Structure 1
Amino acid sequence: MQLIRSIRVMGKDELHIEFNYQDEYQKAVSLAEQIAVQGKERKVG
């Protein structure tokens, strides 16, 4: 399984790494953030 699609050198101190599963990663992070917010709301409310 290849996780990395491409690596580009943008400058002396900068790399741009593109992942094959970037969309799935972003969806998972978004879902985790929503769950964290809901958990905080339940504790406060």
Structure 2
Amino acid sequence: MVPAGLWKVQLQTTQGSCHAQVRAQSEIQVFYGFTTEANGDFPELYANSLS
């Protein structure tokens, strides 16, 4: 079992596309989004693919 909390994932590619798959281990509602700050309260639905 993975502990509850804030989890950070960093992906990087030098060529081509990049894909990540995340799965929840329980029926607790999971919210996802992309932000440049760990404590950001307003995540974006899509990552900035040009950054």
| Band of TM-score, shorter chain | under 0.3
Return the index of the structure with the highest Cα Rg: 1
Q: Given the two structures, how large is their TM-score scaled by the length of structure 2?
A: 0.19
